[in-house]
Structure 1
């Protein structure tokens, strides 16, 4: 998402990492499926990151453990700054000051957490109760508190010794590994086996399938809530965990009635404190108060702002119903480009396919569907069974079910084409890959 200055949250986090580390290349731990998307997003950055790619999500404890093993191998004395990629921090000078303080504490053997002074009785965040002073602003961690109800959150705000748990940390690689050894030895032992089997290729290191067997647990539960050498720095920098649409709304300047929108073409009449998120369509609202209206090609959400954290219940119901919306967007990014589903109905599906210059889809075959390709712009080289043909704009080809086929953009500009699929079954899992330059072939 592009919030606060036009850059994506990932790009902003990457730039913060470069600033605090003196342009040392950061390590990004992410899902294997997000590698190409992340790499393309950071393509213009002068310093490129390294990637540690997970075959399956396993929460923050396994991710931090593998990152620490990776970092320690590079530099046994290194300090690690752990930052989620979806945070918005505008006051970067104050953040950098807090990081410098955290590094000093980390080199003294502390596991350092970054707390954020609460500005409202927020029920969507975890809290940290602070104790005695450690050094400067840093204080001892008395306890962690799960997301409280509104009454409890109001009491924490009034007491003044509670901060939001930001989910950012600073520690030496050796210190956090020692903590894993003491409090989660089985997880660390399994992580060491996974680390020993890492396959490295250029800028990325892929974790083996055995990573999926690691315990699915957060770093807070696995280590932080048990450790004794904790310190928390109550940061004076602004901070937002963009984990709900209410947080997105708060990151956008409001009009005189508290309304916000990411699109200047929205029409707002007689409404207050309402956020409108739209991309392609004109949205008009009349007589609304404290609502969220989020219109995307995938779905429409209308919710009270106070209920913004409960979108997860919608996702849970979609998963329970095995609805396609919880698995894919209408526009799906692939290593070679992207495709957008224009229409999906019984017996046929229509896509717009965009292929990057010099990129190529896998050599593949479908059991249950045939495909018609019409080139809109660019130059395509098509493998269709035993044939290799070249197609220009306004030219087409037909690919019967069972035919091996491949699409390549041989030009220097984007290749755009319309694909019409016909068949009794049109699921994305009806694909057999024989060759693939991105390593996705079976």
Structure 2
């Protein structure tokens, strides 16, 4: 057996810490994507959500030892993300941001978490809401990036463009990298010449013709210590605020809550603006009164990448019929071309239409021309100005114990279909303005009503009077399904007083 250092010995595995940034809202994918259930949580490409697909695609990277995934997200999504990781059989760390502060603070918190035990892994930073269709190609390039990052570089991956795209930022690659990388194969890595913002069409075409420009993917690799040194040199104010927030953090199972007040003081900035642009060749980083910064490198990536930022982008990456149509759900198409039609429940029928995006959900339908999908966000802005719930939540709302679907509503009444997963427990609570009627459709319910606790089976019901303390639990092994009829003067979700909650929720 060869010993380490002998010719032909297998190099040691590189410890890679997957970091999934899950902060996007995906307003241009409304009505499927909502503020409180954004696109990264949706199964837009198969059975996995985009977040699950992001976590899954790192499995099997050659030459790497993978640490459990680390997800940075808003507190609003914590239970859904925890459940999605559980379904993948992935135990990881979920860092909760009390406020959105863009990607540079999110990565800084991740680096602090990754080094808390003295380790210094290579961070593989991935947005949770992107699509990559060629996993094998992705893993080959990541393996190369890991070697470069382990040697001290900050690596990003640029998407090889196939069109003059105006919706992406660009990275111009410079000279081929030939730095001190030992046995690293750096043949496809280049120094970053510059970052450029989203161009107009003529400029984008010029970039495509020139050949040295790549789309900015938002994917990065670097050692945790290298990122902390770089952010310290470039944006010490961000590091100071994140360090203070991390020092005040507390663990709650797989969740890590950082200090709220300290993080509120953190400036908002992206990885690109805060650090990467200063690593580009030819910038004025030498004028900074700071230690020398690591090289910024870009590696081309051709792996079927898309940020699925709008419906036309999703149409491009989904499988199409011979007429260029994409259909999912209960859809009938007749004489249509280059059309996307998605049904979340009801039948959608399209006849003789071209270049349309048609998306049906329980409470909203979108019809948009393929060339105008960027403007869907204007509809969401309008919904918010009108204080309409369709811009914020779906009719079906997920909770840590299961979900509820608002089936019908009118003056002084509301009907919900409630599903409680096995072992799920709602909070011990009380309402000031409504009474509730519960009817069990499937499974067994354990009901606490005032001083009484009892079981309800299928086709049995009970009544919860206004002002009565109550709790619903599922003690069985199958999902509990029930119909809840609320009646009263006010039926808002904020009419709730929680006395005890298994999931740490307040109010």
Instruction: Provide TM-score, normalisation by structure 2.
Output: 0.83
Contact 2:237 2:267 in 1 (8 A): no
Task: Give the match for residue 17 of structure 1.
Answer: 58
CA distance in 2, matches of 1:36, 1:88: 23
Task: Give the match for residue 412 of structure 1.
Answer: 477
1:213-247: CA deviation from partner (whole Å, max 9, x where unpaired): 32232222222222343111111222111221112
1:350-370: CA deviation from partner (whole Å, max 9, x where unpaired): 100000112110011112222
CA shift at 1:75, angstroms?
4.2
Contact 1:29 1:67 in 2 (8 A): yes
Contact 2:438 2:484 in 1 (8 A): yes
Task: Give the match for residue 142 of structure 1.
Answer: 193
Secondary structure at 2:503 match in 1: coil
CA distance in 2, matches of 1:366, 1:44: 33
4-13 or 29-38: which moved more?
4-13
Task: Give the match for residue 221 of structure 1.
Answer: 273
Secondary structure at 2:57 match in 1: helix
CA distance in 1, matches of 2:315, 2:306: 11
1:110 aligns with 2:153: yes
CA distance in 2, matches of 1:199, 1:275: 45
1:167-221: CA deviation from partner (whole Å, max 9, x where unpaired): 1100111111111111111111010011111111332222232223322322222
Instruction: Give the 3 Å change call, closer, same or farther, for CA 5–355 of structure 1 in structure 2.
Output: closer
1:297-354: CA deviation from partner (whole Å, max 9, x where unpaired): 1311111112222222122222222211222111111000000010122321110000
CA shift at 1:3, angstroms?
3.9
Q: What are the equivalent positions in structure 2 for 1:165-180 lying under 5 Å apart?
A: 165-180=216-231
Secondary structure at 1:223 match in 2: helix
Contact 1:279 1:296 in 2 (8 A): yes
CA distance in 1, matches of 2:198, 2:217: 13
Instruction: Provide TM-score, normalisation by structure 1.
Output: 0.95
1:238 aligns with 2:238: no
* 2:236 aligns with one of 182, 185, 200: 185
1:100-143: CA deviation from partner (whole Å, max 9, x where unpaired): 22122222322111110111222221111222111311112222
Secondary structure at 2:113 match in 1: helix
225-234 or 406-415: which moved more?
225-234
RMSD: 1.7
* 2:170 aligns with one of 120, 123, 127: 127
Task: Give the match for residue 463 of structure 2.
Answer: 398
Identify unmatched segments of 5+ residues in structure 2: 1-41, 178-185, 281-294
1:233-268: CA deviation from partner (whole Å, max 9, x where unpaired): 1112221112211122122211111111123x4221
Instruction: Give the 3 Å change call, closer, same or farther, for CA 424–323 of structure 1 in structure 2.
Output: same
Contact 1:351 1:419 in 2 (8 A): yes
4+ residue runs over 4 A deviation: none
Secondary structure at 1:350 match in 2: strand
Task: Give the match for residue 107 of structure 2.
Answer: 64
How many residue pairs are counted as aligned between the two chains? 441
Task: Give the match for residue 2 of structure 1.
Answer: 43
Contact 1:18 1:24 in 2 (8 A): no
Contact 1:112 1:233 in 2 (8 A): yes
CA distance in 2, matches of 1:111, 1:23: 19
Contact 1:252 1:261 in 2 (8 A): no
1:371-418: CA deviation from partner (whole Å, max 9, x where unpaired): 111111111111122222321222222222222111111211111111
Secondary structure at 1:17 match in 2: coil
Secondary structure at 2:60 match in 1: helix
1:256 aligns with 2:322: yes
CA distance in 1, matches of 2:447, 2:394: 26
Task: Give the match for residue 282 of structure 1.
Answer: 347
Task: Give the match for residue 312 of structure 1.
Answer: 377
Task: Give the match for residue 77 of structure 1.
Answer: 120
1:51 aligns with 2:94: yes
CA distance in 1, matches of 2:384, 2:278: 33
Secondary structure at 2:417 match in 1: strand
Instruction: Give the 3 Å change call, closer, same or farther, for CA 323–217 of structure 1 in structure 2.
Output: farther
Task: Give the match for residue 249 of structure 2.
Answer: 198
Secondary structure at 2:416 match in 1: strand
1:212 aligns with 2:253: no
CA distance in 1, matches of 2:258, 2:390: 28
CA shift at 1:46, angstroms?
4.1
Contact 1:337 1:356 in 2 (8 A): yes
CA shift at 1:80, angstroms?
0.5
CA shift at 1:431, angstroms?
1.2
Contact 1:124 1:309 in 2 (8 A): no
CA distance in 2, matches of 1:221, 1:432: 44
1:100 aligns with 2:143: yes
Task: Give the match for residue 368 of structure 1.
Answer: 433
1:154 aligns with 2:205: yes
Secondary structure at 1:19 match in 2: coil
Contact 2:340 2:358 in 1 (8 A): yes
* 1:303 aligns with one of 368, 386, 395: 368
